[in-house]
Amino acid sequence: MGLWRGELSTGEITWAPEVYDILGCPEFNGTLEDFQQWIHQDDRAAANKAMIAAFSEGVSLSAEFRWWHQDGEWRWMLIRGQCEFDKSGVAARMFGTVQDITETHNAAEELRSSEMRFRQLAESIEEVFWLTDVDQTEIYYISPGYETVWGRTCESLFESPRQWFEAIHPDDRGYVESAFSSLQTSGYDVEYRILRPAGEIRWIRDRAFPVRDEHGTVVRIAGVAEDVTRRRELEAQLRHAQKMQSIGELAGGVAHDFNNLLTVISTAAQLLDRTLPKDAESRELVDEIRMAQQRATSLTRQLLAFSRREVVAPRVIEVDAVVVDTEKMLRRLLGEDVRLVTNLNAAGLHVRIDPGQLVQVLMNLAVNARDAMVNGGALHIRTSERLPFRAIEVNPDCGPYVELSVVDTGDGMSAEVRSRVFEPFFTTKDSGQGTGMGLSVVHGIVVQNGGHLEVFSEEGKGAAFVIYLPVVQPVAEPPQAVDSVVVNHAETVLVVEDESSVRRMVEWSKGRSAARGTPSSLQPAAWKRFGPWLTGSIQT
């Protein structure tokens, strides 16, 4: 430091020799005016104001400014002064110091820049950065992301450091506390649920790392926490989709094999019906077999629809038009106690789907809603143009979708029931009141046609099934050629079937037809000749 003294009555300033060394300005003549000329022009006005006020008014002086040094660079200087008063209380002179604070100023500026960069980083990243003592009972730092994720203020956490732990779901606190024991060695990486003030549950991934001093002793705990709720939801959706795919493959295989058995049962029942006399008592048994076969065939068709193996004829249609055409049928199906309300806003938007499948979807959802409104209610069917978040996640460049929502005011579903609602044969109805295939068929049809299906429901608050079907551009359907049919009874029909029981039924049917005088269209010799080399099946 360099000392100086100024006489307030004369304005004369006396500088100690160290001042000239610090200022590095040999041309400085010691006057206040000359002193001011070497100050950086951007700092001169503020420095002059402070010095003039100090000398004229007798107030304390403190000013920082850049000074041109003889080394050819600007140095940061700090000048300070304090008044001395005479016996009458009048400021007589001022004593002060001059100090080169360039290194200190640069270090402070670098610290401010570093803090600003860290603040920008911490405030821009969604993750929560934190630093605590070893026991995590004192918070040294918490990033602003805490307020977004936990829904609580950072100030409240500083006041009550255990607040973050108290927000953890009671069922998860046990294993989170167990993870603390590893902090002295390797830290931890855990996922747990937290309860936000409004009761919302969020999933958190929390990673902690021990901070050691030069002796290897853990002195602090640093960590980062992130909200992984969305990732958890997507993982659950993926697991559900994989489970539904596996169940669908199983259902399709069972339906295919069961269909072969039904073919044998149906054919045998028809042959028995032709063989038995019209007045035979056993014909009633045959009728029972045929009715059971028809119910089983309907169930097989549902299984095929769920597994997306059903043979369909999709074409470009308007969803609104199908809803209008089906509305009268739905009103009869719902009965007098359920009010049907439609709000159609997708006119002119087309999708590609078998119209019969779309009607089947509406019917199944309507029946399911009706059964959930035992005391009556309302069923709302709405259509609009929408872009579902699932489609965006799969393909960010996907086009618009037609949203078809079916919302009821029924009993609603619990979270457990909602998670299994599309599983085949899963039902909450009493025995004999449902097969549990209705919603499974809806799921299969929607997925088969490239759509997405979501369900929202809470107990006592009804249920909403939201279907998204991709919008397509209508195209003119080419006229279908009509094949001419040549009637002749001398053809040979080659039957290709890998199920031996079905082949036997076909041959048996041929024999019975010939016995009744019907021209035979099947030559057993052809089958015996070509059958061993051919495989496949006939779908009817």
Listing DSSP states for 9-34 in one string gives: TT--EEE-HHHHHHHT-TT--S-HHH
Q: Name the pTM for this structure.
A: 0.42
Residue 165: CA count within 13 A, CB half-sphere? 16
**pLDDT for 227 beyond 70:** yes
Q: Is the dihedral of CA 310, 315, 316, 320 positive or negative?
A: negative
Structure tokens at 363: 């019917």
Structure tokens at 114: 């570093």
Contact criterion met (CB below 8 Å) for 467 and 346: no
pLDDT at 28: 65
Phi, psi (5° rounding) for residue 293?
-65, -40
Mean pLDDT, range 235-242, rounded to an integer: 71
**pLDDT for 6 beyond 70:** yes
Which DSSP string corresponds to 332-368? HHH-TTEEEEEEE--TT-EEEE-HHHHHHHHHHHHHH
Contact criterion met (CB below 8 Å) for 444 and 305: yes
Instruction: Report pLDDT digits (tens) over 325-363.
Output: 888 878 888 888 899 999 998 888 999 998 878 888 888
Identify the CA nearest to 489 among candidates 513, 508, 507, 505.
513
Contact criterion met (CB below 8 Å) for 353 and 317: yes
Cα–Cα dist 211/217, whole Å: 8
pLDDT at 305: 57
Instruction: Report pLDDT digits (tens) over 165-190.
Output: 888 898 888 888 888 777 767 788 88
Instruction: Report pLDDT digits (tens) over 521-535.
Output: 444 444 343 344 333
Structure tokens at 218: 């853990």
Q: Which residue has the tokens 């609580």?
A: 152
Contact criterion met (CB below 8 Å) for 310 and 301: yes
pLDDT at 251: 64
Coil vs helix vs strand at 48: helix
Mean pLDDT, range 77-101, rounded to an integer: 85
DSSP state of 518: P
**pLDDT for 379 beyond 90:** yes
Cα–Cα dist 183/160, whole Å: 21
Cα–Cα dist 39/52, whole Å: 15
Structure tokens at 198: 């409004």
Residue 419: CA count within 13 A, CB half-sphere? 10
Highest-scoring range by mean pLDDT, 44-58, 204-218, 301-315: 204-218
Strands (E), 345-496: 350-353, 377-386, 401-408, 452-457, 463-470
pLDDT at 406: 93
Contact criterion met (CB below 8 Å) for 338 and 376: yes
Mean pLDDT, range 93-119, rounded to an integer: 83
Q: Where are the alpha helices (DSSP H) in 152-228?
A: 154-159, 163-166, 173-180
pLDDT at 301: 64
